Structure 1
Amino acid sequence: MRILVFANTPAHVHLYRHAVDRLEDAGHDVLVLTREYACTTDLLEFFGMPYRVYGEHETDGYSMAKFARELGGQFYTIGREALRFDPDVVFGRGPYAAYAGTLTRTPVVLVLDDEPGDFNHTVSRPFADCILSPAVTRRDLGDDHYTFAGFKECAYLHPDVFEPDANVREFLGVDPDEPYVLVRFNALDALHDTDLEGFRPEQRRDLIERLSEHATVFVSDEGDEMDLSELPARPYDLHPAMIHDAMAEADLLVADTGTMVNEAALLGTPAFRFRGTDDHEYGEFQELERAGLAEQFDDYAAVRDRSIEILTDDGAGERWERRRQEYVAELVNLSDLLVEVALSRGSIDRLSSPTRGALQPKRREQPQL
């Protein structure tokens, strides 16, 4: 078989990397189409995934009009590569996967998370043969929409596939018993982040200074704008492929971005998200809050004070790890599911009974009040 995968962000690389490895090991041909955005191609290189670049994703002054121009310029390359590869099934999300599948007359599988409806989903949904999303997804995307117990991060953080690197503390330069915190600042440069604001500059500085009184602070600044030279913090400068190892060993993650909060929570690390001006309700965060693995805050002082409270609580780490073990035991290994869906060419009816049983038709679920 020939499987075409779209990995447009670092998170997409992690989502598909185990499935790609397994499909290649089984003798199938896989091609990843990607764009130059953040560390996406760095991760593809690190994990040895077969890829080609179809364009760049510019983030300065981003808007829907700029997105449309960017999309139009990239479709030619996507079409050429898709026709040349001649896939049996296409995986991705948004207009890229929909276009490639339509052009090559190939089944399209969209793998989504729980985000508000937007342009990407609107234009791609009519062309999808199969849509997969977490059970906490609140949207009904039609008869071909199926949900699974878990999150998209279960493709790479499920206990069956993730084992932290025992040397990560040495790589970070921290002692075996030295507490440390990861702080993630969002660049807010994606289309769905338009007009959103996270931590303000003065809040970033205050947060770092206060946390540094109780732990070593590592800062991951997506926008690469912060000057840490006069602040009691170190830049997180390991290869981006090691971020989950660093998260798993951390005492706390504080962020104004979503994916890393989900990841830290599933690794059993206390994970706090500052909403800023984002007033959307996300099913994934609500579920992780219910499980006692993540917390969200609308007020800056509240997230700062709660972070300090956790860092001074000697039993916090054990509580979170216990909750994590109890919670993730019931979650789906999404990489297993992706491999089987690929081999079935996106046809749910062709799946084995156990895999088909792990999927629930969204349309048949009871309405959520």
Structure 2
Amino acid sequence: MLNLPESQKLPGNQRFSENQKPYIELSVVMPCLNEAETLETCINKVQEYFAQYDISGEVVIADNGSTDGSPAIAKQMGVRVIDVKEKGYGSALMGGIRAAQGEYIIMGDADDSYDFTNLTPFLKKLREGYDLVMGNRFKGGIKPGAMPRLHKYLGNPVLTWIGRLLFPSPCGDFHCGLRGFRRDVIAKLNLRTTGMEFASEMVVKASLYKLRITEVPTTLSPDGRSHPPHLRSWRDGWRHLRFLLLYSPRWLFLYPGVLLMLVGFISSFLLLSSPRVHTLLYSSTAIIIGFQTMIFALFTQVFAISEGLLPENRRLNKVLRYINLEIGLIVGSILLLVGIIGSMYAFGVWEANSFGSLNPSQMMRIIIPVETCLALGFEIILSSFFLSILGLKRR
């Protein structure tokens, strides 16, 4: 919080900063799409909270194309209305966040399901220096009828568990719509999603960039609208899950790839002296697919970092010091050479038998490892070139 000299403080909740512009400590941002039934109630609660606790604050309504007169209601109540053309929950919130002038921002839905008269726990933590303060509805209390059973017992708990598994986050409720954050810090995260997965993106990026995160209990009440909620359970749940996976190349690609390669190598080694050549073929396929999956993890990580989607990774940078085009060409060429020599040996065995019939079990134990070496050799060489392209410096 800005520490202003007493001479710059005015009676009530309005203050001036050093450049003589009104200082706003807290902006409450509400996304709005046809919320005429509840919008006035929500604004009244925020304004009463500001007055009761002498908060220098503002209310920002991020309207996303309402046709029920919601913007007019907000303007009549003297709050700012931001017209956000691009559709989506995330788009509306980002429009409101960009327009907000407060040092801190608390965002919350305009359906009267959150208690805007009890924002002090959020503001207190922000004043203590936390960058993101999440509400936790499961700790604060979910009133009867406020959340569908599917969301309460399956959707939110499962997605939160997956999020905490994939990312180092302390949040016990990834999707709580009431949360506070420092405006300048969150702006640097470059949040991009436009839909409901915006809620997950904020938590994920804040965790990846090692921001100071905490949570406070908050209550959830049944919303005051007569029309159905904008949330679509299965569609939006899948979008959240997809986002979590796409932002974790390790779990999506690396770990499954390592597992496949490990199983493939062990089983291939055990089967080389066995007549079960068909199983050996599956083991070889597992090695190739596993290697390709691991390469996808590397490509995804490098691309996401270069595009600013993920933060710099020190361990990856160390790995890339040793994995470069030249090393890839050498390793790939060695595997190709092994494959070519093995192919020549197999051809020699066929020639020794006058190009006649061979024992399939015996020959496949030679051919399968040889073809695996050829495939891996080509993949390593081509992947090394592609990785070098991704690593080119950009202006």
More strand by share: 1
More helix by share: 2
Length-normalised TM-score, structure 2: 0.28
Length-normalised TM-score, structure 1: 0.29
Greater relative contact order (CA < 8 Å, ≥ 6 in sequence): 1
Structure number with greater Rg is 2
